[in-house]
Amino acid sequence: MKTAKERDEIDMIRSSWLIGSKETIARKLGDLSERTPFGEVMAVSPVFEAEKQKRSLELLKEAAEGI
């Protein structure tokens, strides 16, 4: 069983995850940049297939272009 502190830490980490369509990612990036202004984004992807990972990062780039 997790403590309240552990649950809070997990919630904080999950709040920065960007999962969804390009439009959803763009909205979440916009929301994140309002809460925590940033100059760059570091992406970590659990996608192991090279072409799918490349496509995922391309979609992230496209979503971020409007921010």
- The helix (run of H) or strand (run of E) holding residue 13 is helix 4-15
Question: Tell me, what amino acid is at 57?
Answer: L
The pLDDT of residue 35:
86
- Could you give the 3-state DSSP secondary structure of residue 48? coil
- Report pTM: 0.68
pLDDT at site 7: 92
Give me the pLDDT at residue 46, please: 83
**Per residue in 48-63, is it b (16+ CB within 10 Å) or e — as a string?**
eeeeeeeebeeebeeb
Render pLDDT for 40-67 as a digit per residue (tens, 0 to 9).
888 888 889 999 999 999 999 999 987 7
Check whether 34 has a pLDDT greater than 80.
Answer: yes
